[in-house]
């Protein structure tokens, strides 16, 4: 079970605290068990800081706390604070990456499931699309996605297997495998009935909980070979 520790403190010396955290990251390379650290500053009180540190488990957190570098940095941190920091220990009982879930919603519900009405819920009205397979580098608007999805669904019965998803900041990168049966006209190629596979990567950038921009890299040449369009 994932474990999170929340460290709450007050200090006017944030720049020194920031440098201290950089030192800890550098000095514990290859030894620390923390997987994610986030520091927030109270908007109503700039001296109030909250650090959230994630670990794979409580046991791994305890290993991390026993590192001599962690103990030394903690003592220096206390010296920078106005009073002793407080600690809250939490077992993670639910962990939902909301942008990742929205990204999956596109692949499964919209592209495969055909719920085109959900496009306006998932994509920003001024969505920008970048696809190496298109002559036009950018298509703006959710209507562009609606047109693309409709075209692919008319040409193939297909599924997406999401092999891996990585979330960082506002971006979600998805490595996928597409499997489809050619049932309709596709780029001037008459239906062949062939089953094809194609791999690709899609990066979605989010803003205000909607997909604002997308980058597509797919093996379209491999798909065309499987359809017999090229040798």
CATH code for position 8: 3.30.70.100
To the nearest 10°, the Cα dihedral for 207, 121, 133, 186?
180
Whether 30 maps to a domain, the answer reads yes
Inter-residue contact 42 to 14 (CB < 8 Å)? no
Whether 231 maps to a domain, the answer reads no
Whether 13 maps to a domain, the answer reads yes
Clarify whether residues 208 and 122 are in a common domain: yes
Q: Average pLDDT in the 171-189 region?
A: 96
Domain count along the chain: 2
Clarify whether residues 170 and 118 are in a common domain: yes
Give the end of a domain, one of 51, 75, 91: 91
Clarify whether residues 132 and 65 are in a common domain: no
* Confidence category of residue 136, pLDDT binned at 50, 70, 90: low
Count Cβ neighbours within 10 Å for each residue of 183-217 and write b for 16 or more, e otherwise: beebeeeeeeeeebebebebbbbbeeebbbbbbbe
Whether 149 maps to a domain, the answer reads yes
Predicted confidence (pLDDT) at residue 229 exceeds the cutoff of 90:
no
Predicted confidence (pLDDT) at residue 126 exceeds the cutoff of 90:
yes
Clarify whether residues 109 and 201 are in a common domain: yes
190: containing domain: 98-226
* Confidence category of residue 133, pLDDT binned at 50, 70, 90: confident
Q: Is the pTM for the entire model greater than 0.85?
A: no
**Distance, first Cα to last Cα, the chain:** 51
Whether 60 maps to a domain, the answer reads yes
Q: Average pLDDT in the 58-68 region?
A: 92
Clarify whether residues 72 and 123 are in a common domain: no
With a CB cutoff of 8 Å and minimum separation 6, the contacts of 163 are: 175, 176, 177
pLDDT score at 100: 94
- Alpha helices by DSSP H, the chain: 14-27, 58-65, 68-80, 98-105, 119-122, 142-155, 220-226
Clarify whether residues 34 and 102 are in a common domain: no
Clarify whether residues 27 and 132 are in a common domain: no
The rounded mean pLDDT for the chain is 92
pLDDT score at 139: 75
Clarify whether residues 15 and 83 are in a common domain: yes
Predicted confidence (pLDDT) at residue 122 exceeds the cutoff of 70:
yes
Other beta carbons within 10 angstroms of residue 127's beta carbon come to 24
User: CA distances (Å), 184 to each of 40, 113, 136, in order?
Assistant: 52, 18, 23
Among residues 146, 153, 221, 161, which one has the least CA distance to residue 185?
153
Q: Average pLDDT in the 39-45 region?
A: 94
Clarify whether residues 79 and 104 are in a common domain: no
Q: Average pLDDT in the 73-101 region?
A: 91
Look up the CATH number of the domain holding residue 191: 3.10.450.50
Count Cβ neighbours within 10 Å for each residue of 66-103 and write b for 16 or more, e otherwise: ebebbeebeeebeeebeeebeeeeeeeeeeeeebbebb
Whether 155 maps to a domain, the answer reads yes
């Amino acid at each position: 079970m994932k474990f999170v520790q929340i460290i709450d403190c007050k200090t006017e010396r944030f720049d020194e605290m920031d440098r201290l955290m950089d030192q800890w990251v550098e000095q514990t390379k290859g030894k620390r068990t923390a997987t994610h650290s986030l520091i927030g500053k109270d908007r109503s009180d700039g001296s109030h800081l909250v650090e959230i540190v994630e670990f794979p488990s409580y046991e791994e957190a305890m290993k991390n706390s026993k590192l001599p570098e962690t103990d030394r940095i903690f003592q220096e941190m206390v010296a920078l604070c106005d009073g002793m920091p407080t600690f809250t220990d939490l077992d993670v009982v639910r962990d939902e990456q909301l942008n990742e879930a929205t990204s999956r919603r596109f692949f499964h519900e919209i592209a495969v499931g055909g719920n085109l009405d959900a496009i306006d819920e998932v994509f920003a009205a001024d969505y920008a699309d970048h696809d190496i397979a298109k002559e036009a580098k950018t298509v703006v608007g959710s209507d562009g996605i609606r047109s693309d999805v409709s075209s692919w669904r008319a040409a193939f019965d297909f599924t997406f297997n999401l092999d891996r998803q990585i979330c960082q900041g506002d971006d979600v990168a998805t490595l996928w495998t597409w499997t489809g049966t050619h049932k309709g006209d596709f780029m001037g190629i008459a239906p062949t009935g062939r089953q094809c596979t194609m791999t690709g990567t899609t990066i979605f950038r989010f803003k205000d909980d909607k997909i604002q921009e997308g980058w597509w890299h797919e093996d379209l040449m491999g798909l065309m070979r499987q359809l017999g369009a090229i040798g």
